[in-house]
Amino acid sequence: MKLTDFFENVPDIEIKSLMDDSRKKRPNSIFFCVKGLVNDGHEHIDEAIANGAIVIVHSEPIEKINPDITYIKVKDVVHVFNQVADSFYDYPSHHMTMYGVTGTNGKSSVAWIIRNILNQIEPTAYVGTISIEYNNVKLPPLVASPNIDEVHGILRDMVDAGIKNCAYEASSIAIDQGRLDAIDFDVAIFTNLTHDHLDYHGTMTNYFNAKKKLFDQLKEEAIAIVNVDDPSGMKIVQDTQAKVFTYGIDYEADYRVTDYHLLKDSTRFTLHINDHDYRLETNLIARFNIYNLVAAIAAIHQKGVSMDDIASYIQHLNQVEGRMERIQDGQPFNLIVDFAHTADGIEKVCQYASSITPKDCRIIAITGSAGKRDTAKRPIFGEILDHYCDMIILTEDDSRGESVREIAEDIAKGIHHKNYVIIEDRYDAIRQSVELCSEGDTILVLGKGNEKFIAREFGRESYEGDDVICHEVLKKYYFGDEGGLDETE
């Protein structure tokens, strides 16, 4: 494309790529001087030019001018970057039905469920912390604050591959930094708001306002789906132009669950919509997954899929990777992997474990907490585990160079009654939980889910994922390399 396709009164030069990371080689590119939390693009202009930038979009004065480079001064670099990226990739989000999901907990599950249901009707993509998936393509997940160019490039690839819908996890950080501003969301879903990311947002008010921005930006013909049971539910849509629909269990809602039955391997519930009751059954488990499922149902139903079709689609959904994932290799105890890394998320998983674990059996939890992040929640984790669990193993999460033992000791400040042990190596922690386990017990492996890395001091190091390790540990240390038991035995 030509530079004149994006700006007026500029040279008629060919543009082949966009960039905001000066370290990447991008020939014939436009470099956007984005100001981040740590780095300011204005300080890396020379490096960007060395790596192929021929146009610099900036908001601050430039002292050193290169006569071979075109400089374009704007008021808001991020806003312009969004507009240029959307145009450069030919407005990809306008060619799909875009479902944006935000909230402290449940984003991955809701987006994953939407993709699973719609994919049975027409090609649907998923973008989030689990992965990026469409058709037979599976890519590593985006970081919490994805590059604007990267986002639109991925969406373009999806459109070119024939994708009709995309379920997208919209993190509060990405929303706050304006990195999703040019995505044309047709549906936005709010799950809940609890303590998280305060190391970035500072206050719960700022955290709330970041998520609210997604709904404030919706077009008039869009749809907003909100959890009416959450105190922030109706507040988050008070200024939206979109049409609002509610879901919940405890309060009156457009999509209300009137009764439910939680089983070890399935859930049954009644969903009341427009004076009609639908008896539904799904292979998803836990009360909080009812919320996640109904949020997805409401969004899809409002976009035209019949409830009769939805009822059949939800019976055998693909398990959400690393989210309430039941590891079933024939062992006589429950083993559940979940991404829970907030107080609310951990408590909900523990509550479910309490409901399925016999009174004379134990709940064993393995967890940690992220290093150099929101330290105030650590003792709260300990209090929750102390209340619900019988044995607690504290281990590494994304330590980022902080002492694993010191993080564990912070969590332990909230543990006053139950036994706990610190096992810094996460693999060993999972192994020892299995070796401690007896028939009927429940093991909860919390915090990492299916993530294939552990963030340490100098970046991400490869990690198999809790789900993979659980299978390995069962095979090697419980079954002695003989594999799982035949469930018919």
For the stretch 234-288, pLDDT in tens is: 999 999 999 999 999 999 999 999 999 998 889 999 999 999 999 999 999 889 9
> What's residue 487's pLDDT?
38
Work out the percent of the chain whose per-residue pLDDT is above 90. 85
Binding site per annotation, positions: 22, 103-109, 171, 177, 179
- Residues 112/320, Cβ–Cβ less than 8 Å: yes
Q: Where along the chain do its domains lie?
A: 3-88, 90-315, 325-478
Structure tokens at 360: 């004379």
In contact, 275 and 207? CB cutoff 8 Å: no
Q: Is the pLDDT of residue 36 over 90?
A: no
Half-sphere exposure of 432 (CA within 13 A, CB side): 17
CB 174 within 8 A of CB 180: yes
Lowest mean pLDDT among 6-10, 17-21, 389-393, 484-488: 484-488
User: In the CATH scheme, what is the code of domain 3-88?
Assistant: 3.40.1390.10
- Rounded average pLDDT over 305-333: 93
Per-residue pLDDT, averaged over 383-397, amounts to 98
Residues in the chain, overall count: 489
pLDDT the model gives residue 144: 53
Please choose, from the candidates 287, 285, 250, 254, the residue with its C-alpha nearest in 3D space to the C-alpha of residue 272.
Answer: 254
- CA gap 355, 468 in Å, rounded: 26
How far apart, in whole angstroms, are the C-alpha atoms of residue 20 and residue 356?
A: 49
CATH architecture of 90-315: 3-Layer(aba) Sandwich (3.40)
For residues 242 and 361, give the distance between their C-alpha atoms in angstroms, rounded to a whole number.
Answer: 49
Query: Are 267 and 274 a contacting pair, CB within 8 Å?
Result: no
CATH numeric code, 325-478: 3.90.190.20
Residues annotated as binding site for ATP? Answer: 103-109
Banded pLDDT at 488 (limits 50, 70, 90): very low
Alpha carbons 131 and 108: distance in angstroms, whole number: 10
For 118-170, write each residue's pLDDT tens digit. Answer: 999 999 999 998 899 999 999 988 765 678 999 999 999 999 999 999 999 99
Q: Is the model's pLDDT at 475 over the cut of 70?
A: yes
pLDDT for res 196: 66
SS3 content of the chain, % helix, strand, coil (to 5): 35, 25, 45
Handedness of CA 339, 344, 346, 352 (dihedral sign): negative
Q: How confident is the model at residue 489 (pLDDT cuts 50, 70, 90)?
A: very low
- For residue 186, the Cα-to-chain-centroid distance in whole angstroms is 19
